[in-house]
Structure 1
C-alpha cells in the first residue's frame, strides 16, 4: 500500500504518542513496549501502532518523541507504512473531541518475560472454569524452574521446563483446562522472544484456538491470534535482524491452519485479507 497522500482524510483522533528514551526503551501512550531479541524499540513501537491501525481498519495519527526532545508527527497505516508530516497534527474541534475511554478493569497481556502465566478474567461461558485461578501449589516448583531459567537468560531451558509443566497439567487436567492453555501461551511467548517463528506460530495458534473453544475472555484470545499472524509474517519475509528464519515453505504449509484460526477467532478482516494475499503469492515459491 502506498503512503497516505490525503492527510485530511485521516481522522483527527485518536493521536497516539510514542516516546523513545535515551536508554533505547520505548513506550506508547505511557505503556512500555516489549521488544523481540535484537529488535529496535522504534520498530517495536511502530508495530504496536500498526496493530491499533489494523483494529480500526484505517491509518492513525502518531506523535513520535525522540530523546533529544524533538517530536515527529506521523501517520501509520495497518501495513506498517509510515508517512511523516511537515506540520503538527491539527487539534480536533472541542465539540468533536472523543470522550476518554473508561479504564479497563483487568488489562490482559501476553505472559511476561518472567515466565509467570498471566491468566485473564473469567470466561463468557463454561461455568466452573476460572481463568484467573493460580496454579495449584504442587506445580509451583515446576513453574519456578521456568521462571529461573528465564531470569537467567536461558530461553531454551525455560521452554523445556515449560513443556514439562504443560505435560504435567495436561495429564492432570486435560489439554483444554485454563492451567494447560495458559502454559501453552507461556511457551509461545518464550519461543517468540528467541525468534523461533515456526514454533511460536504453532503454539500461538494452539492457545488461541483452545481459548476460543472454551469461550475464554476474548481480548487475550485475539491478542494470541494476532501474534500468530506476526510470527507467520516472519516466515514469509526475510528479516535482516533475524537471518536464517525466513521459511516460505513452512509459511505456506501453515497458512491454511492460520487462516482457520484467524477466521474462527474473528480477528480484524484486514489481517485475514492480508494473510490470504500473501499465502497466494507463496504458492509458486513453495511448490
Structure 2
C-alpha cells in the first residue's frame, strides 16, 4: 500500500492515542475498541482510525503505545497505509487569542446627595385569595424500557466452516483490493443469513464489515448511507452492543453531510430515513 511521502501536508491535529494492553486489547483516547470479527485489538483500532481518516478526507496522526511502554508516532491513511514518523509529531503552534478591549475610564463629576424621601406607609396585607381547586393528576408517564442485556454470542468467534470466507475478506483488504473485499463480505453475509438468520450476531457483524468497506471505497455516498442505516437498524433490532450501534449511526450522519455536499436533493430524500433510524436507536433527532 502507498505511504504518505509529504509528512508536512498532514494536519497537525488531531493526534489520536492508541494504547495496546498486554492482553491485546486496545483503546483510542481511553475508549475501548471492540474487536472486529476475526481480528485482534491492534488491527481493529487501526481500522477505526482508517474510518476516521476516510471521514475527514486526509491522513491522521496517531501515537501507538505498546504494552512495554514504548510509543510510536505514526500516520494512518484511509487506505490502510501506515507511515512511521522519523520523530515525534510536531507540536501545533498555540492559537492566537486577541486581548479583550478595555473601555477607557471616563471621569464622572461628583453629584449632590439627594435628601432622603419620606417613609412610605406600611403596606396593607391583601385579602387572602381562595385556593384553586386541585387540578386532576396527570396520567403517569411510562419510562422507556430498560436496555436489554446483550447476549454473549456477540463475542463468539465465527465457526470454523466460515473461516475460509472470512479469510478471503481479510486477504483482499490487506492487498488493497477493497472491491474484492466488499464482494467477499456480501457473499459471506448471504451465507450467514441463510444459515443463522438476518439478526444473528455473525450475520450482523459481517453487515457492519460491509458498511465499513463501503465507507473506505467512497464510490456512492447514497448507497453507503443506506447501508449504514440498515446496519444500525439491524443492530438495534438484534440487541447488539449499543456503543458500536451508535458509532455506526454517527458514521451515517457523517456520510449524509458528504452526500449533501455533492447531491443535496438525494440527501434531502434520505434524511427522513436517517431521522427514523436515529429516533429508533437514540430517541433523538439527528445532529
| TM-score normalised by structure 1 residue count | 0.54
- Structure 1 alignment gaps of length 5 or more: 1-20, 45-65, 74-83, 88-123, 238-245, 275-287
Report Cα offsets for 1:232-258 as digits up to 9, x if no partner: 111101xxxxxxxx2223212211111
Q: In 2, Cα distance between the equivalents of 1:86 and 1:22?
A: 27
1:263 maps to 279
In structure 2, which of residues 251, 259, 268 is the aligned counterpart of residue 235 of structure 1? 259
**Would the aligned equivalents of 1:37 and 1:194 in 2 still touch at CA under 8 Å?**
no
Classify 1:70/1:258 alpha carbon distance in 2 versus 1 (closer, same or farther; 3 Å).
closer
Q: Alignment partner of 1:130: what SS?
A: helix
Larger radius of gyration: 2
1:207 maps to 231
1:155 maps to 178
- Structure 2 alignment gaps of length 5 or more: 1-6, 19-27, 29-45, 63-87, 100-146
User: How many aligned residue pairs are there?
Assistant: 176
Matches within 5 A, 1:108-119: none
**Would the aligned equivalents of 1:126 and 1:214 in 2 still touch at CA under 8 Å?**
no
> Does 2:201 align with 1:178?
yes
**TM-aligned CA deviation for residue 24 of structure 1:** 4.0
> Does 2:227 align with 1:189?
no
1:28 maps to 16
Q: In 2, Cα distance between the equivalents of 1:127 and 1:221?
A: 12
- RMSD after superposition: 3.1
2:270 maps to 254
Q: In 1, Cα distance between the equivalents of 2:56 and 2:239?
A: 35
**TM-aligned CA deviation for residue 131 of structure 1:** 0.7
**Would the aligned equivalents of 1:129 and 1:178 in 2 still touch at CA under 8 Å?**
no
Q: Alignment partner of 2:155: what SS?
A: coil
Q: In 1, Cα distance between the equivalents of 2:175 and 2:150?
A: 39
Q: Give the structure with the higher percent helix.
A: 1
